Amino acid sequence: MSLLFLDDTIAAISTPIGRAGIGVVRISGSLAKDIATKLAPKNSFNSSHRAQLIQIYNPADGEFLDEAVAIYFSAPKSYTGEDVVEISCHGSPYILSQLLKACLKLGARTASPGEFTFRAFVNGRIDLTQAEAVRDLIDSQTEYQAKLASRQLKGELSRYLQPIKEELLKIIVHLESSVEFVEEVLDTDSIDALELQISQLIQRLERLAKSYNTGRIVREGFKLALIGRPNVGKSSLFNSLLQQDRAIVTDIPGTTRDSLIETASIGGIPVKLVDTAGIREAGDIVEKLGIERSYAAIADADLVLHILDTSCTLTNDDLQLISYCKQTYSPAILVLNKIDLQQHIDLASISEEFDKDNIVKVSAKTFEGIDILQDRITAHFIDKRIESHEDTLILDARHFDLVNNTIEQMQYALTRLREGYSEEVALYHLHNALKHLGEITGETTIEDILGKIFATFCIGK
Ligand SMILES: Nc1nc2c(ncn2[C@@H]2O[C@H](COP(=O)(O)OP(=O)(O)OP(=O)(O)O)[C@@H](O)[C@H]2O)c(=O)[nH]1
Ligand SMILES: [Mg+2]
């Protein structure tokens, strides 16, 4: 892919493959308007940002191809920052491929994946985090993923990082001037003040890095294992959370023989639900193997739903499983199922083991309490501060790595200053930190730094 080759005009079918009501061909580059004029010789493309009905003729044979709606976006006020024409024609794969072929004949080249957005980035229409958000928004499968991608698209992360970057630049400028001009050697008070500023910036970045715990979960989802002794209602609850009759449910203990995995959306997050075989002293070999998989599911889960049957008293199998889960470090919610039946359970012996917030009463049969259970599940992963827009969230592993690299370099700088090394050594690390920060939004930082440094000097000094 020759993404850096920006002088030519690119074209692509922007709608999915296959038949549809309409299909869109997008053209971007200096030839866009010229190509559109040749495709629709009876129309003109002089007014920007206005939809018009056009008649498309195939330039190869002059035959009428389709009637379409076209919009010309004159540079730089377009998605890519270049001249863009978008043609919405009838969504026939034949018409669309003919139209694309015609564009290529008239001088365009097929766009590589993401190339329109890449041009938008290179031409300064959006920064790198926003370009990545475009990709995430298109890829999003749940409501929550889409919501967070839209927030990123509006530049939320860049806005969070901008003041941090500016303060870091100020610190660098301060240190640079003391290095440049020996008479401006920093006294202890100034060094102390700088150290304080650096550690405050580190704290802000650490808060951001921590948000990746939530961000990763929103992006990639999590694994939720439903476990318990036989017959407590694991498969029934699995079906309730999935909102479909997927797993076999009977009143015979040991019905589920093997782990069953399905994806559901809980609170707008993609969740892999794992129904498991009931854990007990197993009878036959098949059941034994199934139970081994139940243990593997516990180890593999981000969160475990430990289900009890409240219509019976606690059994040894229940108690053994509770103490087993305690040793595994897998966080667990205790689900008290079958609350629609006469209650016989006595929780006194285990109430200490679970936090009150992590005990939820439900009926997989009547759906009572399922919504509360869903809230408790998401509460394990979603930081409320992020949901309420108080905090920015990192969704991307690249951003997470770069924020960590920035923190690391700033910590080195801080340690060096504290150890009494020269400012040059601290500066080296601070410049690295700034470079990593700039890489997140895709800016070229070197010019930035030079500009800021020299702007603080007076002429002749
Ligand atoms: N009344 C009532 N019955 C329930 C509820 N949940 C499950 N059951 C019944 O309990 C029995 C066992 O349900 P399952 O969902 O198969 O239980 P399980 O834990 O998957 O059992 P195994 O696969 O054998 O380990 C069935 O007869 C269900 O209809 C509930 O909330 N209320
Ligand atoms: Mg089952």
Q: Token match 């049957």: residue?
A: 309
Q: What is the CATH number of the domain that holds 345?
A: 3.40.50.300
Same domain, yes or no, for 257 and 375?
yes
- Tell me, yes or no, whether 2 lies in a domain: no
Query: Which pLDDT value is given to residue 90?
Result: 95
Range of the domain at 85: 10-125
- Tell me, yes or no, whether 178 lies in a domain: yes
Q: Which residues line ligand 1 (CB under 6 A)?
A: 228, 230-236, 249-251, 253-256, 277-278, 337-338, 340-341, 363-365
Same domain, yes or no, for 307 and 418?
no
- Tell me, yes or no, whether 360 lies in a domain: yes
Number of the ligand 1 atom closest to the C-alpha atom of 277: 25
Same domain, yes or no, for 445 and 329?
no
Last residue of a domain, one of 349, 382, 415: 382
Same domain, yes or no, for 52 and 195?
no
Indicate the average pLDDT of the chain.
Answer: 88
- Tell me, yes or no, whether 131 lies in a domain: no
Query: Which pLDDT value is given to residue 83?
Result: 96
Same domain, yes or no, for 294 and 358?
yes
Number of the ligand 1 atom closest to the C-alpha atom of 249: 16
Write the residue with the smallest CA distance to atom 30 of ligand 1.
338
Number of the ligand 1 atom closest to the C-alpha atom of 251: 27
Report the separation in Å between the CA atom of 259 and the middle of ligand 2, taken as the mean of its atom positions: 9
Least confident of 41-45, 125-129, 186-190, 250-254: 186-190
Same domain, yes or no, for 229 and 365?
yes
Q: Work out the average pLDDT over 300-311.
A: 96
Sheet with 332-337, side-by-side order of all strands: 260-266, 269-275, 222-227, 303-309, 332-337, 359-361
Report the separation in Å between the CA atom of 286 and the middle of ligand 1, taken as the mean of its atom positions: 21
- Separation of alpha carbons 166 and 201, rounded Å: 11
For the segment 27-56, what is each residue's pLDDT rounded down to a tens digit?
999 999 999 999 999 999 999 999 999 999
Q: Work out the average pLDDT over 411-420.
A: 93
Q: Beta-carbon neighbour count of residue 310 at 10 Å? A: 24
- Tell me, yes or no, whether 132 lies in a domain: no
**Structure confidence at residue 66 as a pLDDT band (50, 70, 90):** very high
**Over pLDDT 90: what percentage of the chain?**
62
Query: Which pLDDT value is given to residue 18?
Result: 87
Write the residue with the smallest CA distance to atom 14 of ligand 1.
233
**Structure confidence at residue 458 as a pLDDT band (50, 70, 90):** very low
Report the separation in Å between the CA atom of 327 and the middle of ligand 2, taken as the mean of its atom positions: 24
Residue 448 has pLDDT above 70, yes or no: no
DSSP annotation string for 142-179: SHHHHHHHHHHHTTHHHHHHHHHHHHHHHHHHHHHHHH
Report the separation in Å between the CA atom of 233 and the middle of ligand 2, taken as the mean of its atom positions: 7
Last residue of a domain, one of 64, 94, 125: 125
Same domain, yes or no, for 26 and 111?
yes
- Tell me, yes or no, whether 389 lies in a domain: no
How many domains does the chain fold into? Answer: 3
Report the separation in Å between the CA atom of 315 and the middle of ligand 1, taken as the mean of its atom positions: 16
- Tell me, yes or no, whether 158 lies in a domain: yes
For the segment 147-193, what is each residue's pLDDT rounded down to a tens digit?
888 888 888 999 999 999 999 999 999 888 877 766 556 677 788 88
Query: Which pLDDT value is given to residue 177?
Result: 82
Same domain, yes or no, for 324 and 257?
yes
- Tell me, yes or no, whether 135 lies in a domain: no
Same domain, yes or no, for 158 and 39?
no
Report which listed range, 1-5, 98-102, 153-157, 191-195, is most confident: 98-102
- Supply the pTM of this predicted model: 0.73
